[in-house]
Amino acid sequence: MTQHLADALPTSTGTQPGWWREAVIYQVYPRSFADSNGDGMGDLEGIRSRLPYLKELGVDAVWLSPFYASPQADAGYDVADYRAIDPMFGSLHDADAVIREAHELGLRIIVDLVPNHCSDQHEWFKQALREGPGTPLRERFHFRPGQGESGELPPNDWESIFGGPAWTRVADGEWYLHLFAPEQPDFNWEHPAVQDEFRSILRFWLDLGADGFRIDVAHGLVKAPGLPDLGRDEQLKLLGNQVLPFFDQDGVHEIYRSWRLVLDEYAGDRIGVAEAWTPSADRTAMYLRPDELHQAFNFHYLNTGWDAEALRATIDESLDSMRPVGAPTTWVLSNHDVVRHRTRFGTLEKARAAALLMLALPGSAYVYQGEELGLPEVVDLPDEVRQDPSFFKANGQDGLRDGCRVPIPWSGDQAPYGFGTGGSWLPQPAEWAGLSVEAQTGDPDSTLELYRSALRVRRAHPALGAGDGVEWLPTPAGVLAFRRGDFVCTVNTTDEPVRLPAPGTLLLASGDLADPDVLPADTTVWWQG
């Protein structure tokens, strides 16, 4: 049973920092959130209709994965028009309505921006193909002659993240670079027209009221001069930290300094959030210097297992790396590209405990849609329904990103569980009936009510939210305990109960707490110290 004594809670006082320093940001994957027209695909009107749910959940902002006009070769991350909405999601009027109604509810909206590459159906790229070698439009991409006697070999040995060469040859013999799918040509960010265009795109969405941008592949925009060979036979990882000539080049920082000037033109703390896979937390921090972006996803934390020693080391490294640049640390357990953390950790108990640990840490937290329901990964999807492009590359990734993208259950005892009236684009498991929003609402033992309670406590308690450090307390092996002001968090990552004297009054626990001096296995407890 989830236990909590909210009446022990102090009242939050004092001046709050910038909203983004302590925000809980909820990721909506539009095609899998809510379907308003019965076509089996989530859409913007569906999102708008469910905004009150997100308000009640207690989050501060909503990050929307791409909804732009796109051929959908990579679930919308192949953008054909950055200022238009794909008809499958609705219209620009619908996007405006989502932003306006979110603001009326006190929620902020962060839109996904995809600047590393576009769709091969983007007008610039289609025109570049028509104009041919040596023409100005080709300079906005990475077109190169091939190697070999007749240019039949790729210009270098770079591999696509999705598998196979990172180059595709066109009819006139030249090759173009695509770090992802062939339908996603990379922009050449050395070209001023590309830089001008994206500053214009930023202003377009800021003018519409967007509160910020999640920047896809933020570490990939600039490539090493001369596009040098990788020089080794190594399959790249979609979510990795390898040192590579096309990721985390120092030239990206000039781009983000120019973007920060645009963001600062607008009132209301508009922010930039980097998806930056880097070799170290210190390299990630470089994206967050005071004149660059505001946040970066903490993938080092996401990749840490359910182990006290490893978690403490990652928490310390994360906080230490952000402190010199004055940026908040972010915490994330799941997103649309990784196996859901309930499945990664192995049990719902561990997932619940991990959620309370994450929400107790200083800084900003990200919640991926459905994790508040305790959804597991769907691991048994039939091959014929899968849509992840990397699934179709024999030498690419594992192709299992579809499993975390299955539409979430809202109500009812059979699929599509209130998602819409026309089924769902990926099949939902029969066992999800008991995990729906409707089934869990009002049940004090449910994961949904645990998240609601945790977010309520987090918002009210003055020691939670923003900050840059924790005070670690002595504990037995396998246990974490830290203090933040008059708040204490204790975490048992072992599979056995541990005797640990209660450090205060119970606020919230991720599981049953029969004896306050005994911390159960795989359990996190919040205390008023």
Q: Rounded to two decimals, what is the model's pTM?
A: 0.93
Q: Tell which residue, 32, 58, 60, 35, has the closest CA to residue 48.
A: 35
Give dist(CA 484, CA 487) in Å, integer. Answer: 5
pLDDT at 90: 98
Q: Show Cβ contacts of residue 162 under 8 Å, excluding neighbours closer than 6 positions.
A: 180, 181, 238, 389, 390, 393, 396, 397
Report the 10 Å Cβ neighbour count for 318: 23
Exactly one of 131, 265, 486, 515 is catalytic; name it: 265
Distance between CA atoms of residues 58 and 363, nearest Å: 16
Question: What's the pLDDT score for residue 279?
Answer: 85
pLDDT given for residue 8 in this prediction = 41
Q: Quick one: pLDDT at residue 267?
A: 93
- Give me the pLDDT at residue 496, please: 98
Catalytic residue among 94, 216, 317, 402: 216
Is 244 within 8 Å of 236 (Cβ atoms)? yes
Contact call for residues 88 and 69 (beta carbons, < 8 A): no
Cis-peptide, bond into residue 416, ω within 30° of zero: yes
Cα distance between residue 323 and residue 315, in whole Å: 12
Please say if 468 is a catalytic residue. no
User: 184: buried, middle or exposed (CB in 10 Å: 19+, 13-18, 0-12)?
Assistant: buried
Q: Is 216 a catalytic residue?
A: yes
For residue 10, give the amino acid letter.
P
Q: What is the pLDDT of residue 286?
A: 96
- Residue 237's pLDDT is 56
Determine the pLDDT at residue 277: 87
- Which strands, in side-by-side order, build the sheet including 364-368? 295-296, 271-274, 212-215, 108-113, 61-64, 24-28, 364-368, 330-332
How many residues can be counted in the chain?
Answer: 529
**Token reading at 169:** 């040859």
Identify the pLDDT of residue 7. 37
Q: What is the DSSP letter of 327?
A: P
The Cα 529–Cα 505 span in angstroms is 6
Could you read off the pLDDT tens digit of each residue along the chain, which spans 529 residues?
Answer: 444 433 343 333 333 469 999 999 999 999 999 999 999 999 999 999 999 999 999 999 999 999 999 999 998 999 999 999 999 999 999 999 999 999 999 999 999 999 999 999 999 999 999 999 999 999 999 999 999 999 999 999 999 988 889 999 999 999 999 999 999 999 999 999 999 999 999 999 999 999 999 999 999 999 999 999 988 665 555 555 678 899 999 999 999 999 999 999 999 999 999 999 888 888 999 999 999 999 999 988 999 999 999 999 999 999 999 999 999 999 999 999 899 999 999 999 999 999 999 999 999 999 999 999 999 999 888 776 766 655 555 443 454 688 899 999 999 999 999 999 999 999 999 999 999 999 999 999 999 999 999 999 999 999 999 999 999 999 999 999 999 999 999 999 999 999 999 999 999 999 999 999 999 999 999 999 8
What's at 524, amino acid-wise?
A: T
